[in-house]
Amino acid sequence: MKNWIEALLSETLYSAWWILSALSTLSTFFLKEWSGKPRLVSAISTILGFALANFRVFQKQQGEMARLGAALLKHEARVSQLRIAPDGGSRYILSPVRNVPGADFSGGYLEFHLMIENTGRRDSTVNNYRVEIVDLQQAFQDLIPTEGKHSVQGRHCVHGMQPARILSETGNIRIQAENATNHGTLLFFVPGINLEQFMRAGVQMHGEEKRLEPLRCRLTITDMTHVSATCDFRLDEA
């Protein structure tokens, strides 16, 4: 109320001043009978100024209310907001050529240990996955999560898997609004990578088992509303 009164007085004084000036001009050149009635001119200018001031203050208040309403709607917009929280233990398992241990390989599995959080006000369905192997400067688009595997043959041994921990179901991850998945894994097969590419990128072997050095990988997930989240991982060879 105080702000309204202050704004009204300010607008009234301004409006009354220029209306008084206009009436004074009119009385001087066109309505000469008003020139001897200053009180009438002042009263008319005050009434008109007050009415115009009310209208101008109303317009400003309505404009401010519309702006605040639009800002509130934008704030409360129901959109998903994704965040990847990495866990330890992520690994990569290379597929040996002709099942010869410790030798060349062709393709392999990338296993990410993580949790996905949706802090937005809309449910999210993640259905697109991209992985970049930073050290090899290779990116793999539109990957499909591998589900249901109980074991994977690696360069050194057969590795047991835990299909119950896979976060995706038929390629999708559904996350309710303001909620998160359990801690789990995402498993992807990436074709074509081989020993020559690793050597060319400077990824060396170490130890008696000739295990390759860790890889830096960047995982990007995108949901059906095109909201994305990206996170960097370190994967050790299993």
Cβ(163)–Cβ(102) below 8 Å: no
Query: How much is the average pLDDT of 125-150?
Result: 97
Q: What is the pLDDT of residue 41?
A: 46
Dihedral in degrees, nearest 10, Cα atoms 193, 161, 129, 95: 10
Cβ(16)–Cβ(45) below 8 Å: yes
Q: Domain ranges in the chain?
A: 2-75, 82-237
33 or 59: which carries more pLDDT confidence? 59
Indicate whether 14 pLDDT > 60.
no
Q: Dmax over Cα atoms in the chain, in whole Å?
A: 115
Q: What is the pLDDT of residue 74?
A: 58
Query: How much is the average pLDDT of 30-40?
Result: 50
140 or 78: which carries more pLDDT confidence? 140
9 or 195: which carries more pLDDT confidence? 195
Q: What is the pLDDT of residue 210?
A: 84
CA angle, residues 136, 110, 191, in degrees to nearest 5: 65
58 or 235: which carries more pLDDT confidence? 235
Query: How much is the average pLDDT of 46-53?
Result: 55
At 168-216, the pLDDT tens digits run: 999 999 999 999 999 999 999 999 999 999 999 999 988 887 889 999 9
88 or 77: which carries more pLDDT confidence? 88
How large a percentage of the chain has pLDDT more than 90?
A: 59
CA angle, residues 128, 134, 140, in degrees to nearest 5: 30
The class (CATH top level) of 82-237 is: mainly beta
Query: How much is the average pLDDT of 86-115?
Result: 89
d(CA 185, CA 233): 13
Cβ(197)–Cβ(107) below 8 Å: no
Q: What is the pLDDT of residue 104?
A: 80
How large a percentage of the chain has pLDDT more than 70?
A: 67
Q: What is the pLDDT of residue 78?
A: 83
CB neighbourhood size of 91 (10 A): 20
